[in-house]
Structure 1
Amino acid sequence: MDRLSVIGTVLALAALLGGSVLKGAGISGLWSPAAFVIVIVGTIAAILVQTPMDTFKRAMKIARWVFQPPSEDRAAMIARIVEWSSTARRQGLLGLEAEVEQQTDPFLRKGLQMVVDGLEPESIRQMLEIEMEGQEHRDTAAAKVFEGMGIYAPTLGIIGAVLGLMAVMKNLSDPSKLGHGIAAAFTATIYGIGVANLALLPMAAKLKGLINHQTQDRELIVEGLIAIAQGENPRNIEARLNGYLH
C-alpha cells in the first residue's frame, strides 16, 4: 500500500469538504446531480470516444497501482542474478533450467529461458528491449487516459456552470431562486476542477512515474541476463547492477 497516495487522498477530501464548511457553503452544497451528470458522465463519455478499447481496459487495470504499486526489490533481484551467474559458471547455462518455471514475472521467465536456450547475447537484448519498449508504450498510453480525463473535466465543469447560469437567467423575475441557482451553477465548476486537480492529473503523473520505475527494473534484468549469457564474473555483474540501486 502506497501511504503517500492514501494520505494525499484523505487530505484532498479534507481540503474540499473542510473548505466548503469553512466558507459557509456546507457539505450539502457540494452535491448536485446535474453537475455530476454533466462533469463526471460527460468526462467518461469524452474519454471513451478518444481511447481504444484495449487502452481503456489497461488503464482501468493499472489504476490500482496508485495505491498498490507493483513492487520489485532491486537488491533481491541483483542477488538472484548473481546467484544464477554463479550457477551458470559451475554447471553451465542448462543448470538454470530449473529456475525458469519458478519465475512468476513473464518478462523475467522469457529472458531466462532464452539464456538457457543459448541464444546470442545480442539477440536476447534485442528481443527483450522490443518487448520492454512495447509494454512501456502500452502502459504510458493507459496512464494518459487519466491525463485526458483531467483535461476534459474542467472544461465540462465550465459547460455545467454556463448551463446553470442559463437556467438562472430564466428565473430573473423570481429573486428567491437566484442565489440557489447561481450556487448550483458553480458546483459544476468545482466538480470539474476538483476532480481533475485532486484526482485525475495526480493519478496520471503517479502512474507515469511507476511505469518509468518498472522500465528501469526491466533494464536491470536485461543487463543481468546478458551478463550471464556472456559468462561474466559474478562479482563484476554485481558491481555493475548495483548502480541501479541508486
Structure 2
Amino acid sequence: MDSLALIGFLLGLIAVLVGQLLEGGQLGALMNGPALLIVIGGTLGATLLQTPLKTFLHAFKMLRWVIRPPVLPFADGLRRLVNWSATARKEGLLGLEQLVDREDDIFARKGLAMLVDGGEPESIRGAMLTDLELQEQRQLQSARVFEAMGGYCPTLGIVGAVMGLIQVMGNLSDPSRLGSGIAVAFVATVYGVGFANLLFLPVANKLRALVLAQSQYREMLIEGIVAIAEGENPRVIENKLAGFVNPP
C-alpha cells in the first residue's frame, strides 16, 4: 500500500479546509450540491465524449494503483534471470521448459516460452518489445483520462461560476435569492480548481510514473532473456542488468 499517496491527498484537502476556517469562513459554505453536479457531471460527460469506453473503464481499473501500486521486484527479477541463465548453460535451453508453467509473470512466461522454443535473440526481442509498447501505450492512454479530467474540471468550474452569476443578475430584485447564486458561482470555481489540482492531475501523473516503471522492469526482462538466448555468462548478465536494480 502506498501510504504516501493517501497522506498527500489528505494533506492537500486538510490544508484547504483549515485555510477556509482561518480565513473566518465555515466549512458548510463549501458544500454546494448544484456546483458539485455542474463540475463533476460536466467533467465526466466531456471525458466520456472524447474517450473510448474500453479506455475509460480501464482507467478506473488502474485507479487502484494509486493506493496499491503493482509490485515491480527488480532485484528478484534479476536473480531469476541469472538463475535461468545458469540453468540454460548447464542443461541447455530445454532445461528451462519446466520453469515456463511455474512462472507467474505472463510477460516473462512468454519470453521463456520463446527461449525454450529456440527463438532467435532478435526475434525474441522484437516480439517482447511489441508487447511492451502496446501495453505501455494502452496504459498511458488510460492515465490520460485523468489528465483530461484535470483539464476540463477548472473550465467546468468557470461554467458553474457563470451560471451562478446569471442567477444572481436575474434576481437582483429579490435579495433573498442572491446568496445562493453567489455561492454556486464561487464554490463551483473552488470545486473545479480543487478537484483538478488535488485529485485528477496528481492521479494522472502518478499512474504515468507507475506505467513507465513497469515498462522499465519489463525492459530488464527482455534484455536478460535475450542475453540468455545469446549464451552470455550469468555473471555478465548480472553485471549488465545491475543498473536496473541500483540506478546511478
What is the TM-score normalised by the length of structure 1? 0.97
Give the Cα separation in 1 of the matches to 2:144 and 2:186.
28
Size of the alignment, in residue pairs? 246
1:108-159 C-alpha deviation (Å, 9 max, x unpaired): 1111110111111110000000110000100000000000000000000000
1:177-232 C-alpha deviation (Å, 9 max, x unpaired): 43443133110001100000000001111111111111100000000000111111
Give the Cα separation in 1 of the matches to 2:85 and 2:214.
23
Give the Cα separation in 2 of the matches to 1:22 and 1:174.
31
Corresponding residue number in structure 1 for 2:37: 37
Is the Cα–Cα contact under 8 Å of residues 160 and 184 in structure 2 kept in the other structure? no
Corresponding residue number in structure 1 for 2:106: 106
Tell me, what secondary structure is at the counterpart of 1:173? coil
RMSD, aligned CA: 1.1
Percent of counterpart pairs with the same letter? 54
Moved more, 190-199 or 50-59: 50-59
Map of 1:1-246 to 2, 5 A cutoff? Answer: 1-245=1-245, 246=247
Alpha-carbon offset, residue 48 of structure 1: 0.5
Aligned partner of 1:107: which letter? F
Give the Cα separation in 2 of the matches to 1:102 and 1:28.
56
Aligned partner of 2:66: which letter? V
1:63-111 C-alpha deviation (Å, 9 max, x unpaired): 1111111111211110110011001111111111111111222111111
Aligned partner of 2:38: which letter? I
Gaps of 5+ in 1: none
Aligned partner of 1:219: which letter? E
Give the Cα separation in 2 of the matches to 1:225 and 1:110.
10
Give the Cα separation in 1 of the matches to 2:177 and 2:37.
22
Moved more, 61-70 or 168-177: 168-177
Give the Cα separation in 2 of the matches to 1:202 and 1:217.
23
Aligned partner of 2:64: which letter? R
Give the Cα separation in 2 of the matches to 1:165 and 1:23.
23
Aligned partner of 1:191: which letter? Y
Give the Cα separation in 2 of the matches to 1:152 and 1:57.
18
Tell me, what secondary structure is at the counterpart of 1:68? coil
Give the Cα separation in 2 of the matches to 1:179 and 1:54.
42
Aligned partner of 2:164: which letter? G
